[in-house]
């Protein structure tokens, strides 16, 4: 088996040292043939840096690295282009002075590498001089690759003064690109966010933004087809570890890590989590725990709105397109950072409309736990106590004890999450289960309907129907819930597991529930 490229973002290392590489050169070939100035936004740790490294080796005409890949016999290897690669992840930028010093050092280092003397004093002039003199020396246009262009801004998003100063410094640098367009062959820029007022877009005659372009949805991340093609042996190893068959293992990987989409049709797996899963052979929250930004949590808590993580929400193209430092839109923030993804794309009165939702179990479980802990101030000890009480209550069919658990959580969440319908209570019940570390499935499809929630406690499957009414008594609501479970036969596939049936009833001022092992 080839080695898993965990933490390796260098295309040459991957290809020279027998690391596994999922071939993205079909999309790269299409992109280069169809334009010359591009911008791509993807969440952190989604393969953007590896993509930039691949482009660098391609334009440098390192032919042997591409042997057996799609692009190998479709590229003119006789043409070698000089490449300037700017990686902001490797620079210092705690303030604009430090950022400017880092950029001057970068330009000086490149001038040494290309054996060019730079004389201009200002940052944009010096960058322009480097581009022009490289072109003049090598008689070939220059390729500009910019990775994580927004990092000096994003990492200071809670300090507007530093973020704005860093943005101005970047603006000065990017002015050179438009002014020296005649010397440039190709420009590719990556980032997490697209800042509407950063001149990287206005100053470049608007680069083609392929973030939501259906032709490039697979350019980062792994499709299901790629997962089976490149990781078959790893899937088999994981299946043995999990005591599951191949098909069951695939379904579990999909549930945990698939679901990212930028067109509402093509889905991709999170590459960071998938690689760590196969390396450790254990399902866990790898991507979320690898560095969820503090500002995201602070912003969500400040907004006092958990609705985007309870149910799908709609958004316009403008909502997803740009990011304002001074006025952060929560939907834009969650989408661009990878906590929401596109589930559907359609039109509403002629305008493009997107339905956004959390991509997969890993993100939902982690995000809900982190946020609800922040809202409820429940300690790990509190949650452990509530989880134990939940197990005991359900296994003993103790309605009173289970209601006490729900009330403990629901009342703490009543302010940030407002609502009075079944969807609201269904969402908040899922949040309670996630918070308690109980894996659940919402809206489980059966041949005759959809069960609200199904989850497991030890070896018991709990089939849950949630009902709300502002006029009926909770006892009446419970009877209707059990009747629906029976009529819709939600239990069919779980009949051999001796399931417990749970009816949850919500009225205007009350919560009630009842457990049954058999339906009359």
Residue-level pLDDT at 228: 98
Residues 66 and 163: their CA atoms lie apart, in Å, by 39
CB 405 within 8 Å of CB 510: no
Are the beta carbons of 348 and 400 closer than 8 angstroms?
no
Name the architecture of domain 11-216.
3-Layer(aba) Sandwich (3.40)
Distance, CA of 183 to CA of 178 (rounded, Å):
10
Look at residue 172 in the predicted model and tell me its pLDDT: 85
φ/ψ of residue 441, rounded to 5:
-125, 130
- The pLDDT assigned to 443 comes to 65
pLDDT recorded at residue 417: 54
Q: Which residue has the tokens 């190709």?
A: 186
pLDDT attached to residue 409: 79
Averaged in consecutive runs of 10 residues, what is the pLDDT profile of the chain (520 residues)?
A: 93 97 98 95 95 98 98 97 96 96 97 96 95 97 96 87 91 87 96 68 74 96 98 97 96 96 96 97 90 70 67 84 74 89 87 92 82 72 86 91 86 60 75 76 65 84 89 91 88 81 85 87
Q: 377-516, what's its fold?
A: Trna Endonuclease; Chain: A, domain 1 (3.40.1350)
Domains 11-216 and 377-516 share a fold: no
- pLDDT number for residue 369: 72
pLDDT at res. 305: 64
Q: Is 439 exposed, middle or buried (0-12, 13-18, 19+ CB in 10 A)?
A: exposed
Q: Rounded distance, CA 38 to CA 188, Å?
A: 5
pLDDT at 448: 64
**pLDDT confidence of residue 165:** 93
Handedness of CA 171, 176, 179, 185 (dihedral sign): negative
Q: Where are the domains of the chain?
A: 11-216, 224-284, 377-516
Main-chain dihedrals φ then ψ at residue 433, nearest 5 degrees: -65, -45
pLDDT of residue 266: 97
Q: Give the chain's length.
A: 520
Q: SS3 of 286, please?
A: helix
Q: How far apart are the first and last CA of the chain?
A: 55
Q: Are 89 and 44 in contact (CB under 8 A)?
A: no
CA distance 41 to 211: 5
CA-closest candidate to residue 308, choices 345, 257, 343: 343
């Amino acid at each position: 088996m080839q080695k898993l490229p965990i933490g390796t973002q260098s295309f040459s290392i991957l290809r020279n040292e027998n690391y596994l590489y999922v071939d993205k050169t079909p999309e790269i070939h299409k992109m280069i043939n169809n334009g010359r100035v591009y911008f791509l936004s993807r969440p952190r740790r989604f393969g953007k840096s590896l993509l930039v490294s691949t482009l660098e080796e391609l334009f440098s005409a390192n032919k042997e690295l591409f042997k057996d890949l799609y692009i190998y016999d479709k590229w003119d290897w006789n043409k070698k282009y000089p490449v300037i690669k700017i990686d902001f992840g490797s620079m210092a930028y705690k303030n604009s002075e430090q950022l400017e010093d880092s950029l001057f050092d970068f330009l000086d280092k490149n001038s040494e590498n290309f054996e060019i003397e730079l004389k201009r004093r200002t940052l944009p002039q010096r960058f322009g001089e480097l581009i022009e003199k490289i072109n003049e020396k090598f008689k070939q246009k220059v390729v500009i690759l910019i990775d994580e262009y927004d990092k000096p801004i994003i990492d200071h998003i809670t300090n507007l003064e530093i973020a704005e100063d860093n943005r101005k410094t970047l603006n000065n640098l990017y002015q050179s690109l438009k002014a020296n367009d005649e010397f440039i062959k190709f420009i590719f820029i990556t980032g997490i966010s697209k800042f509407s007022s950063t001149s990287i877009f206005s100053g470049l005659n608007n680069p083609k933004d392929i973030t939501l372009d259906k032709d490039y949805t697979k350019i980062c991340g792994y499709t299901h087809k790629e997962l089976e093609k490149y990781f078959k042996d790893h899937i088999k190893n994981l299946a043995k570890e999990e005591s599951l068959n191949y098909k069951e293992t695939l379904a579990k990987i999909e549930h945990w890590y698939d679901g990212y989409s930028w067109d509402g049709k093509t889905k991709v797996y999170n590459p960071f989590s998938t690689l760590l899963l196969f390396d450790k052979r254990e399902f866990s929250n790898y991507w979320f725990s690898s560095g969820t930004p503090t500002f995201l949590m602070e912003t969500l808590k400040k907004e006092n709105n958990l609705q985007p993580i309870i149910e799908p929400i709609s958004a316009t193209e403008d909502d997803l397109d740009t990011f304002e430092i001074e006025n952060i839109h929560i939907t834009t923030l969650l989408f661009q950072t990878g906590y929401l993804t596109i589930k559907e794309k359609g039109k509403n009165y002629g305008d493009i409309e997107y339905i956004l939702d959390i991509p997969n179990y890993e993100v939902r479980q982690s995000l809900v736990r982190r946020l609800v802990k922040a809202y409820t101030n429940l300690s790990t000890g509190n949650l452990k106590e509530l989880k134990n009480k939940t197990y005991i209550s359900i296994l003993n069919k103790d309605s009173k004890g289970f209601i006490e658990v729900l009330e403990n959580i629901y009342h703490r969440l009543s302010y940030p999450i407002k609502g009075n319908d079944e969807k609201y209570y269904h969402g908040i019940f899922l949040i309670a289960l996630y918070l308690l570390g109980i894996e659940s499935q919402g809206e489980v499809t059966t041949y005759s309907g959809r069960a609200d929630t199904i989850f497991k406690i030890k070896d018991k499957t709990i089939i849950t129907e949630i009902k709300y009414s502002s006029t009926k008594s909770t006892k009446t609501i419970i009877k209707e819930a059990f009747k629906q479970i029976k009529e819709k036969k939600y239990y069919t596939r779980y009949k051999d597991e001796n399931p417990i049936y749970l009816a949850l009833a919500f009225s205007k001022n009350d919560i009630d529930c009842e457990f049954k092992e058999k339906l009359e």
